[in-house]
Structure 1
Amino acid sequence: MDSEEHERDEEPEAPAEDRAPPSPEMVPFAPPEATLAAPEPTPSTHSRLADAALVMLLVIGYVSPTVAALVALATGARGLAFICFGIAAVGIGIWAVIRLYRRTRTHGRGAALAWADVLVLGILPAWGLLYNHIVNATCQVIECEASGEVFRPLAEPEVFGLLAFHLVTALAYVVSRRRRAALHPPMAELLVHAGMLAGMAIHVLLAVHFGKWVLIGVVFPPAFLPCLSPVLTVILYGAELRHRLRLRGADARAIGKPLAVYREGPEQTFLPERIHHPTLLRALALSPVVLGVHAVLQAVWLGHAAGALQVFTRTCDYTLSRLPVELLPGDCHYLCTVAARGHSWLVRPLRMGRRGGVPIVVNRQLAVANAFEDLLHERWPRFGRLARRTYDLLARPVCNYLRPAWVSDVVYLFMKPAEWVFYLVLVLLDPRSPETRIDRMYR
């Protein structure tokens, strides 16, 4: 009896495949998160480039105003001090980019995107308004400074109405970022979409109006980043609008679906998110109304039916400008003229001369250069006019900003080889005495 019980106790277990399946009540509950878990994806090249671009924007955007102010203070410093300052600024900028990029890759883009919103929607417009206010408010410019003059891109006070409209569209963007769920009543949700669409339309118009300055903002962002503000705003609004339309599309597809039983496994295939086209069409129909309300309010404020357009048209030298540029005669500076204003022990002024009725300092280098140009106009007038136009386009705008005496010394030394070439041409090609031609310059 005992041996039989002992044999029954030591009877081996049946193989796993022969066992009966457990009842449903015995299956332990597994949360959906566990079934959906997947290995951490490897960061793609696109993700890395997007993070790098975001970090570059933040560093340039937040550091550039400080750097610009310090550069303005350092313009009166010695050349060596200015160069050292520039090298230090570049080094600090590179260090900040690397540090912020590593932090973004580790902690995600959340904080970086929030700072980008503040930069693009707040700081850059304010910085651009400052530029808009301090540049040439008229369409009059001295003839020799015309090629390098910057005119006011947006008319004042019309620009303040445009600023108010920008703040309204920025409010729609902020509401969309803060409240992902659909707003109630439905008209509030529709106004958020229409507000971002209207903001995109206005900023596309601004980018077209700025024209070449948008490209300059890409090439040299530290000083001209506000010129990129319309493009960056369109990117922000467009990405947020697309994301919100996808959320509304997901809400629409979820309506009418039965609730899943907790034991039901997750879907194995995922359809790509799609935007909600009815909401997009309604927003497209409402956005012209939003723009029309802005135009009416602007017209009532300014007392002119086209008040909303005057912010673009009442300017000069831009894409949508309608005012002509007026050229005024004035004292024009050239490289050799600048060089002659250096320290007397180096540039060795000879006498005072007159150009356009204005007294100027004349030294040997200036007289030789002008005699060479005089020879060109005399013997090869077409080539002389071409050389003059090319010089006026490339070099003359720079000359008007070369003020310190030490800069004139540098220009004098830089132009010395050209002076020797000019004199050699005069000796070889002038049919008369070169010294006679040189001596009568600026008399």
Structure 2
Amino acid sequence: MAALFILGIFLVFIVFLVWLVLKRTKIAAKPPELIIGSVYIFTLFLFLIGLLFHSNPYYKAVDPVDGECYNPFSEQHILTLLFYFVAYNISLFLVWTRSKKLPPLSLVLAMIFILIGIVLNLVIIYQTSTHDTTSLDIYISDTEHILLLFAPVAALCVGILLIYKVLTEQLTETADRTYANPYLHKIQDFLLHKSRNPLWILVFLFPVFFICTLILILFGQAPDAIIKVFTETTTWKLSQQMHPPVLDHKGHYLCTVAASGHPTIVKPIRLGQRNGRPIIVNRQLLIANAFEEMIQDFSPKLHHVIRKNYDRYGYNLSTKINTPSVSSITYVAMKPLEWFFLISLYLFCHKPELKIKQQYTL
């Protein structure tokens, strides 16, 4: 509720800011237009927040426990997407404020960039609609990607509304125009009829798109960058790449207790190996890991649920276990759970001590 209240205050602030800017620049805007424009800007801020949670390229190893995840857009080809984003929003602004005053060629270019932007927004919606984090296993959250959906949906709606606005204005103006010359009348009727056909616009769209692609190539972008910006990613709908194995979680949880507690209390017994790294182990850690292994043998699905929640909350706990005293207190507090694990092993495991001994072997 607190987050929604803050977002509401922020939205009101954006509405006021947009109204102030329009007033200073003497741009007339009806209340619905003011609200729609403010909401659109607000969704762009949400989009940026979403990207903060999903900022890593597909080839970088991440630590899911820290909430790190992958960008839905390829950083190598992002310039192409940024170019069309800027062109789209400039076109929206020009069509909204000056559609009746724009020169014919400028209006045509603006409409073409809006059409291209609409297509790209549809692709972005499709790309961010699915975020598959199963390969990350213990990713602590899978909801922030929703923040990436609002902006393309809002941009799509604004673009469609402005295209409808321009077409309505142009058709009305053309229909009301009369010519004394009969040949001009025939040309007018022909253009009026063709302007109702969306395919007529595509004739001008592809040459503009081709020229933009050539310009972007001069700036180091690939000819198919508009496709690769979505496919050279991982964990998203159109992704075709695989990320590296996730990073080790820095020896969290009971490993911290065994290594940091007072030796007379936590009773370290030997060195072990965890994910290729040496660690200090005690019997409590060995019993806990043996119990986890037993659960995994009995029910992999149950183990996945337990492990996911253990990693989610255990990491935050481990960051607070940073002194010998706290580590020792944690060891004592975990004793009842250790006894439960040990009893379970002796009840359901054929050779419990062998299983305990095999944990974290070098």
Residues 90 and 359 (structure 1), Cα distance of their counterparts in 2 relative to 1, 3 Å cut: same
Q: Does 2:90 match 1:171?
A: yes
User: Per-residue displacement from partner, 1:251-299 (whole Å, max 9, x unpaired)?
Assistant: 345446xxxxxxxxxxxxxxxxxxx952744334433333333323223
Q: Mark the runs of 5 or more structure 1 residues left unpaired by the alignment.
A: 1-86, 257-275
For 1:194, the equivalent position in structure 2 comes to: 112
Paired letter, 2:36: L
Contact persistence 1:190–1:279 (CA under 8 A):
no
Over 3 Å counting, the alpha-carbon distance change for 1:150 and 1:279 in structure 2 is same
Q: Give the distance between the partners of 1:156 and 1:321, measured in 2 at CA.
A: 13
Question: Would the aligned equivalents of 1:341 and 1:405 in 2 still touch at CA under 8 Å?
Answer: no
Q: What is the aligned partner in structure 1 of residue 279 from structure 2?
A: 360
- Picking from 113, 117, 120, the partner of 2:36 is 113
Q: 46, 49, 56: which is aligned to 1:136? A: 56
Q: Does the CA-based 8 Å contact 1:332-1:400 persist in structure 2?
A: no
Partner of 1:139, secondary structure, is coil
Q: Secondary structure of 2:245's partner?
A: strand
- Does structure 1 retain, via aligned residues, the 8 Å contact 2:271–2:278? yes
- Determine what percentage of the aligned residue pairs are the same residue: 19
Cα deviation 1:28-82 (Å, max 9, x = unaligned): xxxxxxxxxxxxxxxxxxxxxxxxxxxxxxxxxxxxxxxxxxxxxxxxxxxxxxx
Identify if the C-alpha distance between structure 1 residues 441 and 155 changes in structure 2 by more than 3 Å, giving closer, same or farther.
closer
**Cα contact 2:91–2:113 (8 A) shared by 1:** yes
Instruction: Pick the aligned partner of 1:405 from 307, 317, 320.
Output: 320
Asked if residue 212 in structure 1 is aligned to residue 133 in structure 2, the reply is no
CA contact (8 A) 2:77 2:225 kept: yes
Q: Aligned-pair distance for 1:198? A: 0.7
1:309 to 219, 227, 237: 227
Partner-residue secondary structure (3-state), 2:153: helix
* RMSD, matched Cα: 4.7
Kindly provide the amino acid, as one letter, of the partner of residue 136 in structure 1.
N
Look up the match of 2:344.
Answer: 425
Give the structure with higher Rg (CA): 1
Correspondence for 1:350: 267
Conserved 8 A contact 1:313-1:322: yes
Q: Match of 1:150, SS?
A: coil
Partner of 1:12: none
* 1:155–1:315 Cα contact (<8 Å) kept: yes
Structure 2: distance between partners of 1:417 and 1:206: 51
How big is each residue's C-alpha offset from its partner over 1:100-138, in whole Å with a ceiling of 9 and x where there is no partner?
8x99xxx944543343344446x4666667666xx3335
1:174-253 maps to which residues of 2 (within 5 A)?
174-181=93-100, 183-185=102-104, 187-213=105-131, 220=143, 225-253=147-175
Which deviates more, 406-415 or 197-206?
Answer: 406-415
Cα distance in 1 between the residues matched to 2:168 and 2:77: 36
CA drift of 1:201 comes to 0.7
Q: Structure with the greater relative contact order (CA < 8 A, sep ≥ 6): 1 or 2?
A: 2
Which letter maps to 1:324? Answer: M
In the superposition, relative to structure 1, how do residues 99 and 154 fare at CA in structure 2: closer, same or farther (>3 Å)? closer
Q: How far did 1:91 drift?
A: 8.0
Q: 1:319 to 1:294 in 2, by over 3 A?
A: farther
